[in-house]
A = this chain, B = another copy of it.
Amino acid sequence: MTQLEAARLGIATEEMKLCADKEGVTPEVIRRGVEEGSIVVIRNNLHNSIVPLAVGRGLRTKINANIGTSQDHADVALELKKVEACAASGADALMDLSTGGDIRSIRQAIMKASPMAVGTVPIYSAAANAMNRRKSIMEMTADDLFQAIEENGEDGVDFITVHCGVTRESVGRIEAQGRLLGIVSRGGSITARWMDYNDSENPLYAQYDRLLEIARRYDMVLSLGDGLRPGCLADATDRGQVQELIVLGELCRRARMQDVQVMIEGPGHVPYYQIEANISLQKSLCEGAPFYVLGPLPTDIAPGYDHITAAIGGALAGAAGADFLCYVTPSEHLRLPNLEDVHEGIMASRIAAHIADIAKGYPGAMEKDALMAKHRSEFNWEGQIELSIDPGRSRSWLERSESAKEEGCTMCGEFCAIKLGKKDAHRQ
């Protein structure tokens, strides 16, 4: 029985109870959310080593970290270190986006190491296999693709990105309107080119029920991918992007009818003033499904700092109702992220999610900030360090000097406003 099937039958499952505990809500809140589709409980039914992850309305905003090899850098040991970094830095989930090396064995190693939910993009392994075996991605068959999805299910993958909305109709609208940067989603681009080359509809759309059958068997959450997301501000919220979202809304309903849980992926590069509209549109077209946003990035000109750009976009998206933020690392657009990039990306994304949670009125979010203020007013440095988002950095950066003594830090010294504010300050 899938989580959605159970929810429909009024059953609060063990998974829902575990999620409810973590979220500080009743199991009934989770069950009702799953039933109506506003919450997904993410865990492959073969993946019992992890605590399931709930994502959706009324819950804490979650963040995902992408890791994975490329064809130029396929170092499994490094990827496993990234898994550790994801856990240590506080990611809620990770996606293995490997496209280089033995993708399946890398995935299995990552699954084994990860204490958190794992997502993948199965078309990457299908495409890599086609390239290796048949000399071209274009020779990939529909069966290759479904086999890759099946293997991901067998391996215990908890959620998969599937670009089902990249259809002749939506790609046609992209082409009719014209774009500065075309299709920038790797899966979306592979799909669109494959459709063109093979003169065929997208198998994940044409044979959507076959996909649902596999997803249902493993209770894998479908993350309906935005293969047509804009790759630059100039292409944002165009007719092709919105056409895809309409299709995803229809597919979302069909998945629910087969007891398959769904979330929707969102852009991408989007001007700041369009971000809230994008969230409203998704929530409306997809009947309240959880929204998993990639950034969004409200400028194109800041490579090397795209974690900051994504945090700016992510905070606004989250405050407007996005449920799940995909991190972006400082290396985006320049190189494959290293360990430090993973850490920086997660921190930026966690800050955005927390700011959004305060804006959403998520219970307990603002209380953390109030406790930090209390520690500051009491010069409780240890409390500040422990409550801070990165205690390791806080501890190593905090400089104290003789003049600052127990009170103040080296930034203000004798000019510490809080110290001055103490009633006896003027007696010194």
Contacts and interface: CB of A to CB of B under 8 A. Distances in A.
Interface of A: 70-73, 99-100, 124, 127, 131, 136-138, 180-186, 188-190, 192-193, 196-197, 231-235, 271-273, 298-305, 307-309, 311-312, 315-316, 319, 331-336, 347-348, 351-352, 354-356, 358-359, 366, 368-370, 372-374, 376-377, 384, 387-390, 393-394, 397-399, 401, 403-404, 409-418, 420-421, 425-426, 428
Contacts of A186: 412, 415-417, 420
B301 A387 contact: yes
A188 B99 contact: no
Contact of A421 (B131, B183, B370): B183
A72 B311 contact: no
Contact of A271 (B188, B358, B409): B358
A99 B351 contact: no
* Dominant secondary structure of chain A at its interface with chain B: helix
Nearest to A370: B234
B370 A315 contact: no
Nearest to A314: B312
Given A181-B376, A272-B355, A398-B334, A413 B370 contact: no
Contact of A397 (B300, B331, B366): B331
A341 to B, nearest CB: 10
Contact of A420 (B124, B193, B358, B359): B193
Contact of A299 (B299, B358, B399): B358
B372 A232 contact: yes
Contacts of A305: 347-348, 351, 389-390, 393
Contact of A231 (B272, B373, B410): B373
Contacts of A235: 373
Contacts of A397: 303-304, 331, 334-335
Nearest to A131: B414
B271 A359 contact: yes
Contacts of A410: 70, 72-73, 335-336
